Structure 1
Amino acid sequence: MSAHIVSRQLLRWTLRCANRSILNQKGLVRNALPTSSRVLSSNHYQTGVQPNADTSNLKTGKELTLRSLLDMGFTDTQAEQVCDAVTKSRGHSDTALSTLTTLFVLGLNPSSVLKVLEKCPDLYRVKGAQFNQRISNLRKLGLLEGSMQRVVSYYPQILTFPMKRINNVVRFLRERCLFTFPQATDILRDSPAVVEEDLGPLEYKFQYVYFRMGVKQAEMVRSKLFRVPLEEVRCRHCFLERRGLYQTPDKKGQTLILNPKLNDILGVNEETYLAEVAMATQEEYSIFRKLMEKEWQEEEGQERDMMSGGDEEDDDEEEGEIDGYQKRRKR
Structure 2
Amino acid sequence: MVSLGRNSFQVFRAITGIRFGSCLYLEKKTCIFGGLGSVQKQCLKYHYGCGDSRPSVISPKKTVSPREFSKFSKAVDHQKGTVDTGQLDITDVTTLVTEILTDCAQNDIMVQSLNRLAVTDLVEDLLLKGWSPTLTRNMLVSSPNLLKRSKTQMSKLVDLFLVYGFTNNQTALILKSGVATSMKTNRLKEGFDAFRKIGMRDQKLPRILSNFPELLTQDPSALTHRVTLLKELFKTDDIVPLIVGSPNIVFEDWSNILKLFRYVFFDMGIKQRQMVTSKLFSYSLNFVRTRHIFLVRAGFHVRPRKEDDPVRNTNPRLSDILDTSDAHFAKMFGHMSLKDYKAFAAMMEREFDKEHQTGNDSSNEDE
TM-score (norm 1): 0.71
1:281/1:80 Cα in 2 relative to 1: closer, same or farther (>3 Å)? closer
Deviation, 1:9, is 3.8
Aligned with residue 269 of structure 1, among 306, 309, 325: 325
Does the 8 Å CA contact 1:247/1:259 hold for their aligned counterparts? Answer: yes
* Equivalent position amino acid for 2:317 in 1: K
Deviation, 1:186, is 0.8
3-state DSSP of counterpart to 1:183? helix
Aligned with residue 71 of structure 1, among 128, 143, 146: 128
Alignment-derived partner of residue 97 in structure 1: 155
* Equivalent position amino acid for 1:139 in 2: R
Deviation, 1:104, is 2.1
Aligned with residue 111 of structure 1, among 157, 164, 169: 169
Deviation, 1:90, is 6.5
Does the 8 Å CA contact 1:103/1:113 hold for their aligned counterparts? Answer: yes
Alignment-derived partner of residue 80 in structure 2: 46
Deviation, 1:100, is 1.3
Q: How does 1:179-198 map to 2 (within 5 A)?
A: 179-198=234-253
1:127/1:274 Cα in 2 relative to 1: closer, same or farther (>3 Å)? same
1:121/1:247 Cα in 2 relative to 1: closer, same or farther (>3 Å)? same
Q: Any gaps of 5 or more consecutive residues in structure 2? A: 1-18, 26-68, 82-118
Alignment-derived partner of residue 21 in structure 1: none
Cα-to-partner distance string for 1:259-312 (whole Å, 9 max, x where unaligned):
22212211333233222234433233122111101100000011111222227x
Answering whether residue 364 of structure 2 is matched by residue 308 of structure 1, we say yes
Alignment-derived partner of residue 275 in structure 2: 220
Q: Any gaps of 5 or more consecutive residues in structure 1? A: 1-6, 14-31, 48-62, 312-331
1:78/1:256 Cα in 2 relative to 1: closer, same or farther (>3 Å)? closer
Aligned with residue 285 of structure 1, among 302, 317, 341: 341
Distance (whole Å) between structure 2 residues aligned to residue 239 and residue 276 of structure 1: 12
Aligned with residue 132 of structure 1, among 176, 186, 189: 189
Distance (whole Å) between structure 1 residues aligned to residue 342 and residue 74 of structure 2: 60
Deviation, 1:34, is 3.2
Distance (whole Å) between structure 1 residues aligned to residue 278 and residue 195 of structure 2: 22
- Larger % of strand: which? 2
Quick check: which has more Rg, 1 or 2?
2
| Count of aligned positions | 268
Alignment RMSD (CA, Å):
3.1
Distance (whole Å) between structure 1 residues aligned to residue 283 and residue 123 of structure 2: 42
Does the 8 Å CA contact 1:35/1:70 hold for their aligned counterparts? Answer: no
Alignment-derived partner of residue 199 in structure 2: 142
Deviation, 1:70, is 1.6
1:89/1:192 Cα in 2 relative to 1: closer, same or farther (>3 Å)? farther
1:292/1:11 Cα in 2 relative to 1: closer, same or farther (>3 Å)? same
Deviation, 1:93, is 5.4
Identity %: 24
Which range is displaced more, 198-207 or 77-86? 77-86
Alignment-derived partner of residue 123 in structure 1: 180
Distance (whole Å) between structure 2 residues aligned to residue 252 and residue 286 of structure 1: 34
1:213/1:293 Cα in 2 relative to 1: closer, same or farther (>3 Å)? same
Alignment-derived partner of residue 218 in structure 2: 161
Alignment-derived partner of residue 241 in structure 1: 296
Distance (whole Å) between structure 1 residues aligned to residue 298 and residue 145 of structure 2: 56
Does the 8 Å CA contact 1:235/1:289 hold for their aligned counterparts? Answer: yes
3-state DSSP of counterpart to 2:179? helix
1:34/1:290 Cα in 2 relative to 1: closer, same or farther (>3 Å)? same
Higher relative contact order (CA 8 A, sep 6+): 1
Does the 8 Å CA contact 1:241/1:247 hold for their aligned counterparts? Answer: yes
Deviation, 1:117, is 2.2
Distance (whole Å) between structure 1 residues aligned to residue 225 and residue 335 of structure 2: 41
Deviation, 1:98, is 2.4
Distance (whole Å) between structure 1 residues aligned to residue 347 and residue 238 of structure 2: 35
* Equivalent position amino acid for 2:130 in 1: G
TM-score (norm 2): 0.64
1:280/1:10 Cα in 2 relative to 1: closer, same or farther (>3 Å)? closer
Alignment-derived partner of residue 317 in structure 1: none
1:69/1:89 Cα in 2 relative to 1: closer, same or farther (>3 Å)? closer
